[in-house]
Each structure stands twice: as structure tokens, then as C-alpha cells.
Structure 1
Amino acid sequence: MSVAAETLALRGLDAPVTLRIDRWGIPHIRAGSLHDLFFAQGANAARDRLWQIDLWRKRGLGLLAADFGPGYLMQDRAARLFLYRGDMDAEWAAYGPDGRAICTAFAAGINAWIDAVEDGRAPLPPEFARMDTRPARWAPEDVVRIRTHCLVRNALSEEARAAVLAAAGPEVDGLRARLDPPVPAAEWDLGAGPLPDGALDVLRLATAPVSFAPERLAAPLCEAHRWSRVDADKAVVAHPQAFPDGSNNWAVACQRTATGRPVMASDPHRAHSLPGLRYLVHLTAPGIDVIGAGEPSSPGVMAGHNGTGAFSLTIFCADQEDVFVHDIDPEDPDRHAWKGGRAPIETVEEAIPVRGHPDQTVRLRFTRQGPVVHEGAGRAIAIRTVLTEAGAAPYMAALQGMRARDLAGFRAAMAGWVAPTVSQVWADTGGTIAWMAAGRVPQRHGWRGLVPMPGDGRFDWDGAIPPGDLPLRVNPPEGFVHSANEMNLPADWPHDRAPVGYEWHGDGRATRIADVLGAAQGHTLADSAALQGDVASGVAARLVALLPDADDPATALLKGWDGRIAADSGAALLFELWLSAHLKPAVLRAGADGDPALAAPLAARLAARLAPGDIAAIVAALEGDGPPPGALASPGGRRRVLTRTLAAAWDDAVARQGPDPDAWAWGRLHVGHFPHPLGVAGWDVGPLPTGGGATTVMMAAYEARGDFRVRNGASVRLVIDVGGWDNSLCINAPGQSGVPGSAHYADLAPIWAAGGHVPLLYSVAAVEAATRSVLTLVPG
């Protein structure tokens, strides 16, 4: 097959750089120096994802209104509250001795590509023309100062818990978010009480993606403040259901594999988007030869391998933020109560450019505990988060970790990892496998960070838990390590002295992974690939076992089912409708109705607060484990909830797909669909029938009250043969390119939907054999 070749001159390169694009759209970049390598990575990011990274930059820096008008002004203000505003020398030092140089080269590469676009030597992505905007140039600081796309927790849960505790009790709140380990009742006496409605809307707005509703784009300046809330799909709306984030990774030791080499697998999950959140790239220069997945707006890769060690991550559910309620000095609105005296509230005024209008001045307020997100009734509510601290640019510690040659070097690099908190898995050619927690975990003394706290100085962070104290497992006797966002702290962890987190994923994924890996000998790459696509639900088996024997067709269908949430399964359709649209809401309503003092409207509001609910707690309540509330208190009450909701789910399935269950299929309702944010006909990808759900290793979460489209899951998957690198596998949905019409815009989506993979090639010979085009960048 012929290979297309092209040469492009870019100012800022020291020597030629070769980009080989393989048949799956993965660029293999080879340069003669680190500067040229990361310059070329920036240029390549602009080549494939310029609209995406330009939008991310403008969103993160609070510059959307300059392009899109008054409907974006409040989102700009919210984003600016959470920008890093500290000392840049400390910030750069956090990313190692060459972190600043790498980011400088990366930003220069983006800018050089924009230069080529502006003088007609490279194409302008069509979104810019459609929206009548232009890409902006980057400063090196832009790569690290933006923090609002990072996953941290648990301010929003604190808000919800405070509201539930005020209306009911901790047992009811456990249906929303089960705490592991349990927390003494005295903890709730420390809090500041419930927050006003909408108190954390600014936080939601700051972390929301950019939406392009016509009415938002057309909003006049006088209506700018109306566009300040976020709906269930995280779209900004004028006048706001949450999805579980879940990830999996594991490493299998050489004594358990068919080849005698370790196998590492990773599939970090996030909200699906178009283009996808992740990007696959191969970076080669003297001293570095690394391949894997990162985000297109950042240099390096966060998961992959370097020819000696393989590394990957999932979210480790540590708590990195807190809500503080400050009493404002009634005589001076710029001070608040603090340790028996007063402390200042700093006010910063910034001018935000707005398309078609003069710059608009906004006020940003900060206490010593963080940005103020709400003021009223004599109180200021602030968020303390690691994101505003030096070194917290997400994944940037990977600049050092991706070059580690052994576990000691990797662990040393992870000591500098701040956010998000992650479970890192390592496997190397020497046969070592390891799991470790990484991230900055605030040290709290005498409180646990589970509800909003008084901001008077009695409660604050006392530094962080030392990185070396976080858990580590090396070469365990079972021959594998794994994580799936579960409670994976050691059994003897001192929770009272060093509280890390209490809200974990109990969705059964970790148990399923451990069962499969623990039962296997002669584990292969194909086995790991199949496990990433595994749709067996342990939750389904537990719930179906609770159903009383009956001769109705719904019970018969589920009792004869294998518990796999397969795309072509009618029983899977019935089960998912039952679980998500009928059973879970009924259990939450039973919990809310458990307090006879609550009036019906208040109980309904409380049930909404509990949604979408904690699946582990809901199943445990139905099994009679613990003190189940309300109608679930007796075995008969639980049976009635199960059978009533199953009958409703059967009627629901009939209404959706007809009376014949043999013709039902989960994948007809549950589809992978990647809509372009601009809503342009022909730019969407999908729909694609997709299996899995929120309780399977192939986690594919959806909105039960909406269209059941897959909203969250793995877009990128990696399966690494440690030492047999060219055998490794990957996928990135819907495709590597973000340019509509590109051959690599949507080519990987059908493979992804089927749980498949493509090769992740590494050697020079394998890359050259798979090359379909070559772009040579030369000094201009």
C-alpha cells in the first residue's frame, strides 16, 4: 500500500521531526531532541484536535464569552475562580527539572501550527468557520494553570449529605452514598448544616463542558446571569442526574501468564465526548520512547509503556475538597470570623471580554480556605480544593513517571502526583508488578470532610498525608494487582488518624475482576481484552436471586438468564429497565418515605436528593443487610417492592420494543452515540448498539430518565504485553482525529462498541509496516 508523504515547515523547530500516522490514526513522532519532540507533540495535537484544545483552553481560562457572547459570561467567571493563581516558580518546580521546558515547547508547537493555519499552509477545522471564531495562541502557563477539567471530590456530595441529614438521617443518606468504613454519629454534629439551594452551582458551572444551545448563543447581555446553572447532562442551561465515573486497571504477574511476561490492562472511564477525551501517541527521542494515552491539551502520556515499564491509572476515591461556611462580619463584608477574630476576604476584579459588547467586570472573592462560590444571609461559602495548590495540574506528574525505568523511579515520580488521586499500576520487564495510591490527600484532624464545615478556623487542612505513607502492594502472592475505584485501603488503615475517603464504588466491578484473574492460569492478552469487554453483572445475579418464585413471564425471563448485560439480550433490557428506571427510584422513595414526619412533597424532594443512589447500598437494603428504611424494613415489604417494580419494568419493555421478549435487545435502547457539540448534521457518530451497564467491568453508564444513551465509560482501552510490546492492544473512541471528515474521525467507534481493540505498535519495523502517511516537520 502506498504511503502519503507531506512536508511542513514550522518556525521553532531545531531539526526535522517525522510523524508516521498508522492505519488507526495513531501518530508515531520521532525527533532528535526533547525540545523538538514536545514541540512536535503540540503541533500534532493542533493537527488532529485544534478545535477541541482551543475550546478547552478558552473554557479553562474563562475566555468563552469573547468568542460566543454573553451566554458564556457566567461560565467564564466560574472558571476563573478555580484557576491556579499562585507562584509560578513553585508550580513549574512541581513538574520536575524539565517540566517548564516541555510545556514551553508543547505550547510553541501548537502556536506554530496555528501560524501555518493562518497563512494557509494547514487547514482550519470547520468548527471555527461555522462559529466565526479563530484559534488563539497558547502561553506555556496555559498548559498547567487550568484545573477545572480534573476529577476531584467530594464537595457536591457534602452538599447533598447535609440536605439529607437535615431532612432524615445518616441511614437514609447511605442509600445515596454508602460510607466505608462507617462513621461515628458524632461526626454530623460538627457540620455547618444544610447549604442554601444552588450554593454550589458555581462549582458545577466551572467544571461543565461547553454547550451551544441556540438560545444561549443568542443571549443578550442583560440575560448573561441567567446562564449559570447546569442540567443533568452537565450542559449549561438558563434556569441542573449524575453519572458514575468508573475505571479499571490490573497487572498480571509473569508466573500467571501464558508467555511468562506480565500483562497490564487499563481502561480509564470518563464522560463520552466528540472528539474523545483521550488521545494515543508515540513519542521517541534520545532518552525517551514512550507510547500510550494522554489528553490532547497536555504533553506526554499518562498511561502506556516506555519499553521497560508499563503504567496505568484509575481513580482512587480520596477526598480532595471541602466546603466551608464563613460568617461574614456584619460591620465589614470583606472580613469573616476566624479563630476568635477576623480574617480578610480578598476581592479581585477582572475584565472579561464579551463578543459584541464592552468588556464586563466581574468580582471574584477568596477566603484563605478557597474561592467563594456563594454569598447571602451573612454567610460566604468557599471551596477548599487541592486544584488551587501548586503542582495540581492534572496528570502532569506523568512527565516524570512515564520515563521511569523501574518501580523505585516510578514511585519517586508519583510522590509528586497531586490530582486526581489515582490507583497506579506498574509492570516491568524484570517481572515486577505493583499497585500504589498516588495523589495529595489533605490531612484532617478530628473531622472527616463529609459535610460542609464551619469556616471559623476550627477545621482546616494540616498539610497532606505524606506520599510515602499511602498504600503500596508489590508482587503480591496472588499474582495480580487490580483496582476499580473500590475501597482498596488496607484492612489496618488508621481511618481516624489519617482519613482518606469514605465514598467508594461498590458496583461489583472489582470483585468480578479479582474473580476472573484469580481463577485464571496461563493468562493472555486476549483474556485481558475480553475482561475489559466483560458484561457479566454480579449485581444482576444478586437481585434476581431475591425475586420470589413466580410463574409470571418477567420473573421467568430473569430466572433463566445468565446475568450478562449483552447488547443482543432481551433479558438484559428487562433487567436494566427494572434496576435503573423502576427499582432504584422505588427504593430511594421508600427511604425518603421512611420518616412519617416528612410531608409527601418533602419526601419527593428528598428522594431526588438521593438519586441516582448507591448501588451497593440499595442491593444491601433489599437483601435486608443493615437497618433498611421505611417499606424495606420487612421481608414482605422488600418482596413487594421487587415484584411491583419488575411488573412495571415488563410493561415498560413492552411499550418500548413490543410484546415479544424474543425480539427485545438491550443494544437497541442502549447505544454509543457521540454527538458533536455544535449539532451539525453529519458530524455525530453513532448510534452503535452497546452492551454493559453501570454494574459491569465494561461500565457503560446511561441516563435512566432519558434516552439511555451511553454517557460515561471507557473511550480508551490499553492491554500491554510487557516485553512483547508489538503485541499490545488499544482502542480510542470514536477516533483519533477531531476533524469532521477525517478518515480517523469515527473509524474506531464500531470496534469500540463491540468491545474490540486494534494494535498498539512500538518497534520501528512494526510502525513502518503499518504507516499510511508520513508528515515531516522541518524548521521554517
Structure 2
Amino acid sequence: MSGHRTLTLVLPGLAEPAEIRIDRWGVAHICAASRGDAFRVQGFNAARDRLWQLDLWRKRGLGRLAKDFGPGYLAQDRASRLFLYRGDMEAEWAAYGCPDTRAVAEAFVGGLNAFVALTAADPAWLPPEFASLGTRPEPWEAADVVRIRSHALVRNALSEVARARVAARGALALDRYRKALSPAHDPVPPAGLDPACIPADVLDEVRLGTAGVGFSPERLAARRDEAWQWCRVTEHGEVVARAPPPAPAAAAPEGSNNWAVGPGRTATGRPILASDPHRAYQLPSLRYVVHLTAPGLDVIGAGEPALPGISIGHNGRAAFSLTIAPLDQEDLVVYETHPDDPDLYRYGGDWERMRRREEHVAVRGGPDEAVSLAFTRHGPVVREDRTARRAFALRTVWTEPGSAAYLASLAYLDAADPDAFGAALRHWSAPSVNQVYADAGGRIAWFMAGKAPRRPTWDGLMPVPGDGSHEWDGFHPPEDLPRAIDPDRGFVATANEMNLPEGYPAQARKLGFEWLEPWRASRIHAVLEAQPRHSLADSVALQGDDLSLPARRLAALAAGLAAPGDAGPGPDQTGTAAGPAGAGPDEAGAARALLAGFDGHLHEGSPAAALAEVWWMHHLRPALLRRVAPNPATAALLLPGDPETLLDLLEGAPAGLDGAPANLGPAARDALLRDTLAAAYRDCASRLGADPSAWAWGRLHHALFAHPLSGIAPAGRDVGPLPVGGSGASVMNTTYRPDTFRLTVGASFRMVVDVGNWDASVFVNAPGQSGDPRSAHYDDLAGLWAARAAVPLLFSAAAVEAATEQVIALRPASADDA
């Protein structure tokens, strides 16, 4: 293609000339003369597009934020350092299943550092955020790529604490209303544990060490004597001063959808693979799409910009995609400490000493701060209570060699058949995943992969004593985890649901009991089973599917109410805020009329969708929780409430669940539905106007890609708001904050691969590929993403050439460049 821009740069460490072709959608296609050069150019290119994001990622992970941003980040730095990998580095590099892991990381970091050096020589290359805050990017070491663990998704310490706090109130039977367990299981408090000894803030250090980097004028201006106040993380992931109460001990669910459809069920006669990972919405996106070509290497897809290689994509022979399989990979450990020496904890009938490590944290505008970090044989100490003589540590797979998130994907970049792909996954540690696979030979597969601790004597659902009575017995071997290769039904699909096969020894192996609700998976399976000739367009449409099975069930509940117009909504007995009137005397009847015929599709233009979501999130679910747990302190521990359990209760009360509350018989249930429905109607009228025909879900539910410096500096350019359909229950996962209806978790990256006809594949990455506000690719995909559209994911040299907008020619350094 003639007319594209060409820029020539020197890349130190490069063995042979290489080039980066940037297509019209911001995808960088890298061509190099060797694999080592390809990964070096990948690091250089990642820094070219995402340097501010990369620098924050490293400084957050290593605990180096206070050096740039002041005392308000000191507490977060200390917490982050607790979770660094501190084990044997030789064992670490050898654990990923790729013999060249260290060399790959060194090449990648070498390229990244070359771009950092370029910004020092010519500040015009520096993204504007650095100038806004007066900071500079720092050079990396290869070890930084693997030592930072705290961005990985592991579980379930937060839920363990929540369950223990419910149990401490004598209400363990009610915990299913907080989180359903599957397969069906009654949690058993571990012997020797007093649930009442678990403080509400026991995991503040864990939250702080895994939080993102946020900015506010108050935090940036924090004085040295205020430093340790900035230590609490809200339920929305924001680091704040200590004043607010501890956040609920639960984490926002992050997951994904993926599927692979075999050639016997597709319109193309070739497999189709789809992927849309659901993570927190960020600006720039968590994912970055890149194409790496070198002798013996030709892969395209998405990874995290701070890691070499890709984890989701294809290699011209096979395609692969992952979702979270929520295996239980951590435990909170509780110790009794010595009355005379708090560094001693009871273990095995004797006392064992914590390992103390003193580190110095650089702080902007002042001297370094000395911090003390403590570790036990189980992991970092996250809280000490010397008065009660207790300490708490987090045991997690992060401390095991090979657990840097997603890096084990290097081992499967060359896989071309299910056996090779499965063999590569034997080295996968974290996060635990469902991997789906499809190849040009027509084969498809599903593998569950990840380190799964063996817990011989307990179920992993509550904290455990640290005295040696509750020790992991290693990890389940990879062959213990389920898989399916070329299944008879002709497709594989996962969506973080409980997908252990029938007959699997779940109670014996105890991989985990806390999965995401089954609704996305049920919808995906139903659609795929109904399409004997599934097409690429069908996969794109399914990724944008906004059907909410819970919303459909809510509409059925409303339709089943006896018409009471008669009595009107009656006094609000639920404690729900009614909001201003304006909808007439029979709001419940008007609401039922609006929901009549509602099919559960949460389209952004739908009035019924707005009513259904406001009803459930703001009125019915909280009111139902208050019925289940009349004691306000207990009800608060169950928030926001398990939607699966609560809907089952509504549909079957009083016999739907064993132990259903006596105050929720049929008449009481109907009154609850009617009163909250009326309140929701009034609420919508208050928010959206008195005319329900003008209501629209997208007027409330929106995406806003907020820059970390939004409102702080000119570089903080936001993207949005954009009206969006769906919810956390739809395949198009658009989980949102109930207070603002702003999206929090979902698929900013989507990909559909036509396996074998690679140039027909499509993707979208919102809001854009670049993290530089000056780039045309900063937000150019946001509108397409919101419209549920996709753009080409080009692979062949001819297609890439035709779509190239810019070429960056890279040459090795010579003596003349010194």
C-alpha cells in the first residue's frame, strides 16, 4: 500500500532489521528475523503505545508509587511488597514450560527499556501524563515481569472472611444468601477456628496490595504524618483514607466467555473460536492486541501489555482462548502468637519465628520510609493483633514458582494439536482457567488448568488455624482437572460457571465451590445447541447478546401477581425508599403493564429493561435480604446477596429452599413483589421522567472509560459516557455500579476467529489500542464496541500490507549511533 508513513528508528540489542506495521485499527504487526528480536520489538512497541500504563503497572507491583506521587501512596507500596515473589529465581524461570522464558523476558524488557531511553533522549516521545505529574518512567529488569503477582485473579480469601463473619453471628445457614455453593455443599467450620476472632478489616492489606492506582488531589497532597491513613479500599476499588468502614468482604466478579464450535456445526465447515474476557473496564484497556512474526513464530491476539507473547489468539494453525475457572487458590491462616514474643507463632506443638524483612520505600519530597514486612511458612502476614495475640497470613499460589499470571502462555504459542496444547497447560499455575482450543484440522478441546491445592481435611471455605493442622498436601496433578477433546455435541463453551462434569469427584477433590452464576453459560449453550450451522456473525452476535435470564424471571414473577389494583401499592413495608410520586395511584399495576411481554433482553433503548434492573438492584433484592435476615447487622454481611439463591427463593417460597423464612409465604411474597415493584416504578419516574415510554436502560446504564488522571491533569481525557445494554447476567457482560449505573466489569476486548481462514477473524478493543491521549487509536474503537461491532483481525502478509497506515522500521545500533 503506497502512501503510508514510514519512520526509521534505532533499537539497541536488535540483531537484524525489523519493522512494525500499524494497521488502520491500531494493531501492530511485528516482523523480525528471529524470535528473540520479535520479543524485543514487542517490548519496544508496547512501550510506544502504553508507556504510562506500563510504568504504573511496574511501580504499583513493586511498591514504588510513593517515590513519584508522595506519602499518600506509602501504605499501598508497603502492601504491594508483601505479595512479591521472593522464592528461588532459577526455579521460577524454569517453571513455565518454555525453556526460553528468561531469554524471552530479557528481550522484551530490553525493548521496553530502549523506548524508555528514547524518551529520555527526546522527550517528545514521552506520553503527556508524565509531564502532568512531573515524573519519569523507570527502566525494568526481567525479574519485574515475574516477581509481580498481585495482578493475578486468585480466590477465595475474601469470601472465607465473609463466611466466617456470618458464622460468628450464628447464622452460617444464611450464608447461601450471600454466596451459593456448587456442587451442593454445607460448609464446615475448621476444627480449632473461632470465627469470631476474624476482624472485619483483616484483609485490608490484601485489598490495598491488589488495588489499582488512583489519583485525587487529596491523596497527592497528603502529608507525611497522614501517609498511613491512605490504607482502605472501597468496594469499588478506590484507595481512600481510613475514615470509611471496611469494604464488604467480597470481590467484584471478573470472568469471561469463550467457546469453540467444531466444523460439523459451522456454516464455514471450519471451527470458530470466540473469546471475550471480562475484567475491570480501564483506560487504556487491560488487553493489547499484537501480531508477532519471525522464523518459527507467527501469532496474533491479545495479552497484557506488560507481558511478552499473547494469551488469547491464534498461531496460524490453532486458536486458543481462556476464561477464569474459579478454583480455590488461597486461604487465610490464623495464628496464635507467643505472650512474650509476638514474632513467634504456634506451629506443630512448638513455636516458630516469623521472618522479618526491613525495606526502605522512597517517598517524594522526603526521606525514605523504613517498613517491616513479616512472613510465615504459609505466606505474608497481613494483620497482627498483639493484644489478642493473633496474626493472620495469606497462603496463596502466588508464592509458588511459575505463578506469574498468564506468562505460561509462552509454552503454547507453537501448539498445533490438542495434545501439544494440553501438554503446555501442565505448567499453567495462575490464574486458574478454562482454556478452549480449535485448530485448522477441525479439532476442538476444553481444558481446565491451574494450581489447585489439595486440602485433605477441610473444604477451603473458611479461614484455618496456622498450627499445622490444615496444611496443603501439594497440588492436584493436571490429569485431575477435567477436559474434553472433540466432544460429541460439537462445541465447547465456558462462562465461569460450575462446569465440573457429571460424575466428577468434586467433594473429594474440593477444587472449589464458589462459581459464578450459570446464566451466561446457559444462554451460550442454548444458542449454540439451536444453531446447527453457526456462523462468524452468529458468534459476534452472541458476544453482544443482552438477554438476562434473571430479568426474564422477574418479568414472570410480576406477571404472576394477582391484580391488586384494588388496594394500590399500600404502605411500604419493606423499608425501600419510594422516591417521589408521579406515576399515578397504581404504580404496581403500571409497572406490571410495562413488564408485560418483556422478554428479558436488556437493550439500551428498552423502558422495561430499565424498570426490571432498578426493581431488582435497588428495591427487590435488598428488601428480600432484609426478610431473609431481619437482623440488620447480619443482613449487612450478606450484601449484595446471591442472586441465584434469592431468585430461587422468590419462585418457590415457601417450599423452594429448605429453611425458607417463615415470613415469606405466598401472600407475603406477593406483597413484597408488589410493594417493591411500585417503589421501583416511582424510582424510575424520578430518574427518567413521568412518561415511561421515554425511559431507556441506556439512559442509566453507561460505559465511561475514565483516565486515571481525570479531573487532575489535562492529560486525563475520558472516553464516554456511552449508553450500553446488558448486565452482569447477560452474555454481553456489562456489570455496573448500582449507585451510578456505570459499567465496572465486562468485555472491553472481544475476538472471533475463523479457524483456517484467518483474515476473516474479527476483534474489538475498547476504547482503543493506544494508551497515549495524543494517538488516533486512543478511542477510535469505543463507538464500535458500544454498538457491539467488530473490525478485522488481519493475519496474512498481503492483508496486513493493504491495511497498513504506518511503518516503523527498526535497525540495530551501530558504532555511529554511540
Q: Shared topology, TM-score over 0.5?
A: yes
Please give the secondary structure, in 1, of the residue aligned with 2:646: helix
Aligned to 2:367, the other structure's residue is in SS state: strand
Q: Which one of the candidate residues 772, 779, 787 is aligned to 1:739?
A: 772
Matches within 5 A, 1:209-248: 209-239=212-242, 240=247, 242-248=251-257
Q: Distance in 1 between matches of 2:288 and 2:165?
A: 39
SS at match of 1:332: coil
CA-CA distance at 1:580 after TM superposition: 1.1
Give the CA deviation at 1:197.
2.2
Aligned to 1:83: 84
Measure, in 1, the Cα distance between the counterparts of 2:22 and 2:615: 46
Q: Which residue of 2 aligns with 1:769?
A: 802
106, 109, 112: which is aligned to 1:110? 112
Distance in 2, matches of 1:192 and 1:260, equals 59
Q: Which residue of 2 aligns with 1:278?
A: 287
Separation in 2 of the partners of 1:133 and 1:272? 25
Q: Would the alpha carbon gap of residues 660 and 366 (structure 1) be closer, same or farther in structure 2, given more than 3 Å must change?
A: same
**1:329 counterpart SS class:** coil
Look up the match of 1:486: 497
Residue 690 of structure 2 corresponds to 659
Question: Which segment is superposed worse, 27-36 or 550-559?
Answer: 550-559
Using the alignment, how far apart are the partners of 2:670 and 2:487 within structure 1?
42
Structure 1, unaligned stretches of length 5 or more? Answer: 594-602
Q: What are the superposed Cα offsets for residues 281-339 of structure 1, whole Å, 9 maximum, x if unpaired?
A: 00110111000010000000000000111000000010000001000011222211111
How far 1:228 moved relative to its partner?
0.5
In structure 1, give the amino acid aligned to 2:689: G
Which of residues 505, 513, 521 in structure 2 aligns to 1:510? 521
Give a deviation string over 1:399-429, Cα, whole Å, max 9, x none.
Answer: 0112212111111110000000000000011
Kindly indicate whether residue 324 of structure 2 is the aligned counterpart of residue 315 of structure 1.
yes
User: Residue 122 of structure 1: CA displacement?
Assistant: 5.6
Structure 1 residue 507 displacement after superposition: 4.5
Pair 1:607 & 2:639 matched: no
Corresponding residue number in structure 2 for 1:588: 625
- Please say which of residues 447-456 and 182-191 is displaced more in the overlay: 182-191
Displacement after TM superposition at 1:187 (Å) = 4.3
* Counterpart AA for 2:130: F
Partner of 1:368: 377
Structure 2 letter corresponding to 1:755: R
Given that 2:500 and 2:506 are in contact with CA atoms closer than 8 Å, whether structure 1 keeps it comes out as: no
> Offset at 1:606?
2.5
Q: What residue in structure 1 maps to residue 679 of structure 2?
A: 648
Distance change (3 Å), C-alpha of 1:65 and 1:442 = same
Within 5 Å, give how 1:436-515 maps onto structure 2: 436-515=447-526
Alpha-carbon distance in 1 for matches of 2:766, 2:62: 27
- Counterparts in 2 of 1:186 and 1:211: CA distance versus 1, 3 Å: closer
**Equivalent residue number for residue 569 of structure 2:** none
The answer to whether 1:292 aligns with 2:292 is no
Q: Which moved more, 1:163-172 or 1:639-648?
A: 163-172
**TM-score under structure 2 length normalisation:** 0.93
Matched AA of 2:649: A
Q: Please give the per-residue CA displacement for 1:416-461, whole angstroms capped at 9, x wherever unaligned.
A: 0000000000001111111110000001001011011111100011
Superposed counterparts of 1:32-47, under 5 Å: 32-47=33-48
Which amino acid in structure 2 is aligned with residue 431 of structure 1? Answer: G
Find the counterpart in structure 1 of residue 50 from structure 2.
Answer: 49
Q: 1:540 is matched by which residue type in structure 2?
A: A
Amino acid at match of 1:663: A
* Contact 2:552/2:598, CA 8 A, preserved across alignment: no
Cα shift at 1:505: 1.1
Corresponding residue of 2:792? 759
Letter in 1 for 2:612: F
Instruction: Return the offset for 1:232.
Output: 2.2
Residues 539-597 of structure 1, C-alpha deviation per residue, up to 9 Å, x if partnerless?
A: 1122221221436110111122121000011110001111111111112222221xxxx
* 1:105 Cα deviation from its structure 2 partner: 0.3
Aligned residues: 770
The range that moved more, 547-556 or 203-212, is 547-556
The answer to whether the Cα contact below 8 Å between 2:67 and 2:362 also exists between their aligned partners in 1 is yes
Unaligned runs of 5+ in 2: 566-588, 814-818
Structure 1 residue aligned with 2:576: none
CA distance in 2, matches of 1:518, 1:622: 29
User: C-alpha displacement at 1:608, in angstroms?
Assistant: 2.5
| Structure 1 residue 771: Cα displacement | 0.7
Q: 1:197 aligns with which of 197, 200, 204?
A: 200
Q: Report the equivalent of 1:119.
A: 121
Bigger shift: residues 605-614 or 669-678? 605-614
Q: Work out whether 1:683 is the aligned partner of 2:717.
A: yes
Deviation at residue 238 of structure 1 after TM alignment: 0.2
Quote the Cα distance in structure 2 between the aligned partners of 1:479 and 1:296: 34
Superposed CA offset, 1:124-176 (max 9, x none): 00000001000000000001110111100000000111111222423311011
**Residue of structure 2 aligned with 1:250, choices 239, 254, 259:** 259
Paired residue for 2:584? none
Task: For 1:87 and 1:444, locate their aligned partners in 2 and report how far apart those are by CA, in whole Å.
Answer: 25
Q: Which residue of 2 aligns with 1:11?
A: 12
SS in 2 for 1:575: helix
Matched, 1:558 2:562: no
CA displacement, residues 318-364 of structure 1 (integer Å, 9 cap, x when unaligned):
00000010000112222111111122211111011111111111010
Cα distance in 2 for residues equivalent to 1:185 and 1:365: 30
Correspondence for 1:574: 611
CA distance in 1, matches of 2:524, 2:393: 39
Question: Partner of 2:575 in structure 1?
Answer: none
What letter corresponds to residue 706 of structure 2 in structure 1? P
- 3-state SS of paired residue (1:476): coil
Aligned equivalent of 1:598: none
| Counterpart for residue 712 of structure 1 | 745
Who is 1:599 aligned against? none
Identity %: 54
Structure 1: distance between partners of 2:186 and 2:233: 34
Find the aligned partners of 2:83 and 2:16 in 1 and give their Cα distance.
38
Residue type of the alignment partner of 1:139: E
1:538 equivalent in alignment to 2:556:
no
Equivalent in 399, 412, 429 of residue 401 of structure 1: 412
Provide the rounded CA distance (Å) in 2 between the counterparts of 1:352 and 1:70: 10
Conservation of the 8 A alpha-carbon contact between 1:192 and 1:454: no
Match of 2:158 in 1: 156
Q: Residue type matched to 1:486 in 2?
A: E
Alignment partners' CA distance in 2, 1:607 and 1:136 = 47
Return closer, same or farther for 1:197/1:280 CA change in 2, 3 Å cut-off: same
Q: Are 1:64 and 2:47 matched, yes or no?
A: no
* Equivalent AA in structure 1 for residue 529 of structure 2: G
- How many angstroms does 1:617 deviate by? 1.1
Distance 2:194 2:104 in 1: 44
- The AA in structure 1 aligned to 2:694 is A
Provide the C-alpha distance between the structure 2 equivalents of 1:81 and 1:329, rounded to a whole number of angstroms.
23
- Corresponding residue SS for 1:178: coil
TM-score (norm 1): 0.97
Amino acid at match of 2:298: D
Note if 1:639 corresponds to 2:650. Answer: no
Range 581-590 or range 461-470, more displaced = 581-590
Q: What code does the residue aligned with 1:178 have?
A: A
CA distance in 2 between partners of 1:660 and 1:243 (Å): 34
| CA distance in structure 1 between the partners assigned to 2:124 and 2:807 by the alignment | 15
Q: Quote the Cα distance in structure 2 between the aligned partners of 1:491 and 1:368.
A: 37
Match of residue 359, structure 2, among 350, 356, 370: 350
Do 2:555 and 2:598's aligned partners in 1 also have CA atoms closer than 8 Å?
Answer: no
Residue 312 of structure 1 aligns with an amino acid whose one-letter code is S
Distance 1:609 1:280 in 2: 40
> Cα RMSD (Å) of the superposition?
1.3
Which of these residues, 166, 170, 173, is aligned with residue 171 of structure 1? 173
Measure how far apart 1:522 and its partner are. Answer: 1.2
Equivalence map 1:123-162=2 (5 Å): 123-162=125-164
Moved more, 79-88 or 237-246: 237-246
Deviation larger for 3-12 or 544-553: 544-553
1:617 is the counterpart of 2:617 = no
